[in-house]
Amino acid sequence: MTSVTEDIISTEIAGTLDGLMAQRVRRTPDNIAYRHFDADSKAWCDTRWGEVGEQISRWRAALAAEKLLPGDRVAVHLRNSKEWVYFDQAALACGLVIVPLYTDDRPDNIAYIMSDAAVKVLLVQDAAVWKRLGPALAGQDDLQRVLILSSANASPGELLADERVRFVSDWLPDSAVPVGRRDGDPHALASIVYTSGTTGRPKGVMLTHHNMLSIAHSALTMIDVYQEDLFLSFLPLSHTLERTAGYYLPVMSGSAVAYARYIWQLADDLQSIRPTVMIAVPRIFERVFARIQGQLDKQSGLKRALFNLTTAVGWHRFEHQQHRAAWHPRLLMWPLLNKLVAQKVTAKLGGRLRMAVSGGAALSNTVARIFIGLGVPILQGYGLTETSPVISVNVPDDNEPGSVGLPLNGVETRIGEQQELLVKTPGLMQGYWNNHAATKEIIDADGWLHTGDQARIENGHVYITGRIKDILVMSNGEKVPPMDMELAISLVSAIEQVLVVGEGESYLAAVAVLSADEWPLLAKRFSLDPDAADSLHNEKLHAALLKDIKVRLKDFPGYAKIRRLVLTLEPWTVDNGLLTPTLKVKRARVLDMFAADIKTLYDSGPEGRA
C-alpha cells in the first residue's frame, strides 16, 4: 500500500454493533466493503458500503414482518458471505439475538443448540442443508421460520410443503426504506455463541454489543489497520475470532473483506485476492510448513542449505528489528536471499501480506520461526469465546512468537493458583445461557475469569504453558503438559493428528493418526500392505516414526519422550465426535476410543525406547 487512510469508529460513537455498521455506511458509502467470487461469471465481484446499507434495510424489513420480539433468538447456518453480514446486522437492528452455527457441526449438536436457545428463525445455505438438519429439528415448536438462501437444485414443492420454509429471494422485499438508527443499549445481549467444549454439551456464551465492540476497538489501539487494507476471510464467522477481528473490526476501520471460497481453493484465492491481512488458525500454517518440508526433501542438498540459510538470516533480521539481537554482517545477504528464496514463498500468499494473525490454538515455535524467517509477519494471539474473544496479541514492534502477546488495552491479567491465567476484560461475557452454575465456576466473586490455562507473564508478554485439566502426572511425579509435545510431534510429516498419553505411567506414549497422503509412501518404504490392519503394528515402521518424533522432541526434558505408539488411519473429525467444530481434539473421547490399545501398550512394557 503506497498511501494509507485511518478512519476508526470509536466504541462510543458506534454504541451498538448495528450502530457501528450505520456509521460506516454513512462515512464511506462508495468504498469497497466486501468481495466475493461469483460462480456464474467466474469472477470476483465487489460490494460497496452504500449497497451493504441498502441490503441490510431489505433484510431488516423482512425480519420485522416476522413479528419477533426484542431479545428473541435467530440462528445463522451459512458459509462466510455478505448475506451472513446482512442477516446479522438486520437482526441486531431489530433488537434480536444472533446464534451462529458451525456449518460442519453435527445435526444432533445443532438441534441441542437450537432447542436450548429457543431459536425462532433459522437461515441455512441451501435445500441440501435443510434436508440434513430438518429431521434432527423435528418437534422444535419454537422454530417458526426457516430461510433457505440458495434455491439452486431445489425442489420447491417438496420444501415449501412445510409452511415455515421460505426461499430468501421470495422472503425479501424488492426494496425497503432505510430505517433511522435505533437507540440501542450497548450492554444488551447481542449474541449467544455456543462453545464447542471438549467435554460435555456446548455452553451458550452470552456476549453483548459492548463486549465485541470494545475488544475490536482495543485491538485497533495496538495494531494499525487502514481503509486500504484487504482482509481474507476463511475462518468460519461462527468462530468468535473471525467474527470480532475479521468482521466487526474491518467495519470499525473501514477495511474491505474478501470471502474465500473453500479451504481447498485457499491457495488460489490467496494469489487472486492478494490480501494484506489474514486471520488464521495454526493448522493453516502447519499445513503450508508440511508442504514446504515435503518439497525440500526432494531438493538437492544445496537448495536445502540455501533455504535453511535464508530462514536463519531472516530470523536474525527479525530479532534485530525487534531489538533483541545485534547487527551482523550476514544480514547483508538478506536482499539476495529474499529474492532467491523468501519472495517465492510470500508470493504464494499473495505477495502483499503485511499481517497474519494466528489464534484459536497454540502455534508451534518452529513453524513461527520458519515463516517469520521468510518474511511472513505472523502475530500470535490468545483468547476465549467467553472474552469476545481476544485477551492478548503480539504487535508488530513487540512480537515475541513464543508468547501469545501483550494483554489488550483495558484487559487485566494475573496468575492465580496452579499458575492459572486469570482475566478481567471489557469483553467478559454476561454468563452462560441457562447455566448459572457453570458461570459461577468460571467467574469468581471478584470478577476474575478463570481461563483454565496455565501461564506465566514475562516482560508484559503472556506465555501459555498448558491446560490445567490436561496435565499428565506420571508415576514418578513428573507433571507433563502435553500441548507443546503434541505441537512438536504434529510437525512430523507422516503424522496428521496426535495425543500424548501417560497419566500415572512410568513413560509417555502417543496415539497418532497417520497422514493419508504419506501412508502409501510409508507402506511402500517398509514393504507393507497399506490396506492391511496389521501393517500399522510393524516394528520397523514404529521405530522409524519414534526416531522422527525424537528429533522433534530433542529440546524437551528427558522424561518428556515418547516410548511407544498406537497408530490409526481414521482421522479424528467433527462427524465422528472426536473433534469440536473449532477443531480441538476431544481428549476424553479419543482416550475412550483407544482405551484397549493403550492398556495393551502399557501392559507390554516400554519396548522400542526412543
Give per-residue pLDDT as tens, 149-198. Answer: 998 777 777 777 789 999 999 999 998 888 777 889 999 999 999 987 65
pLDDT > 80? residue 107:
yes
CB atoms within 10 A of CB 366: 15
β-strands 204-208, 165-167: how paired?
Answer: unpaired
What is the pLDDT at residue 184?
Answer: 94
Q: Once rounded to an integer, what is the mean pLDDT over residues 388-414?
A: 97
What is the pLDDT at residue 360?
Answer: 82
**Contacts of 193 by beta carbon, 8 Å cutoff, 6+ apart:** 99, 100, 204, 205, 207, 238, 240, 385
As beta bridge partners, residue 413 has 423
pLDDT > 60? residue 199:
no
Domains and CATH numbers, the chain: 11-277 (3.40.50.980), 471-603 (3.30.300.30)
pLDDT > 80? residue 418:
yes
pLDDT > 70? residue 608:
no
Say if residues 557 and 493 touch (Cβ distance below 8 Å): no
What is the pLDDT at residue 248?
Answer: 98
Q: Once rounded to an integer, what is the mean pLDDT over residues 416-422?
A: 95
Q: Once rounded to an integer, what is the mean pLDDT over residues 301-329?
A: 96
308 pLDDT tier (thresholds 50, 70, 90): very high
Enter the C-alpha cell of residue 578. 472426536
**Contacts of 286 by beta carbon, 8 Å cutoff, 6+ apart:** 364, 367, 490, 491
Enter the C-alpha cell of residue 55. 441490503
Say if residues 25 and 53 touch (Cβ distance below 8 Å): yes
pLDDT tens digit string along 225-236? 999 999 999 999
Enter the C-alpha cell of residue 362. 497454540
Enter the C-alpha cell of residue 147. 430461510
Please provide the DSSP assignment of 337-359 as one string.
HIIIIIHHHHHHTTS---EEEE-
Helix (H) or strand (E) holding 273: helix 266-273
What is the pLDDT at residue 21?
Answer: 97
Say if residues 609 and 543 touch (Cβ distance below 8 Å): no
pLDDT tens digit string along 332-343? 999 999 999 999
What is the pLDDT at residue 607?
Answer: 56
Enter the C-alpha cell of residue 83. 448475506
Q: What are phi and psi of 307, to 5 degrees?
A: -65, -45
609 pLDDT tier (thresholds 50, 70, 90): very low
Enter the C-alpha cell of residue 357. 494473525
Q: Once rounded to an integer, what is the mean pLDDT over residues 298-322?
A: 95
Enter the C-alpha cell of residue 483. 500441548
What is the pLDDT at residue 570?
Answer: 95
583 pLDDT tier (thresholds 50, 70, 90): confident
Enter the C-alpha cell of residue 394. 503480539
Helix (H) or strand (E) holding 406: strand 406-407
Helix (H, G, I), strand (E, B) or coil at 346: helix
Say if residues 397 and 409 touch (Cβ distance below 8 Å): no
Nearest Cα neighbor of 399 from 431, 425, 372, 374 is: 372
Q: Once rounded to an integer, what is the mean pLDDT over residues 102-128?
A: 95
Mean pLDDT (the chain, rounded): 93
Q: How far apart are CA 260 and CA 158, in angstroms?
A: 32
Q: How far apart are CA 20 and CA 567, in angstroms?
A: 51
Higher pLDDT, 181 or 426: 426
What is the pLDDT at residue 548?
Answer: 94
Higher pLDDT, 178 or 70: 70
β-strands 508-514, 461-467: how paired?
Answer: unpaired
What is the pLDDT at residue 379?
Answer: 97
Please provide the DSSP assignment of 362-388 as one string.
PPPHHHHHHHHHTT--EEEEEE-GGGS
What is the pLDDT at residue 610?
Answer: 40
Q: How far apart are CA 198 and CA 183, in angstroms?
A: 39
281 pLDDT tier (thresholds 50, 70, 90): confident
604 pLDDT tier (thresholds 50, 70, 90): confident
pLDDT > 90? residue 246:
yes
Q: How far apart are CA 377 and CA 323, in angstroms?
A: 16
pLDDT > 70? residue 365:
yes
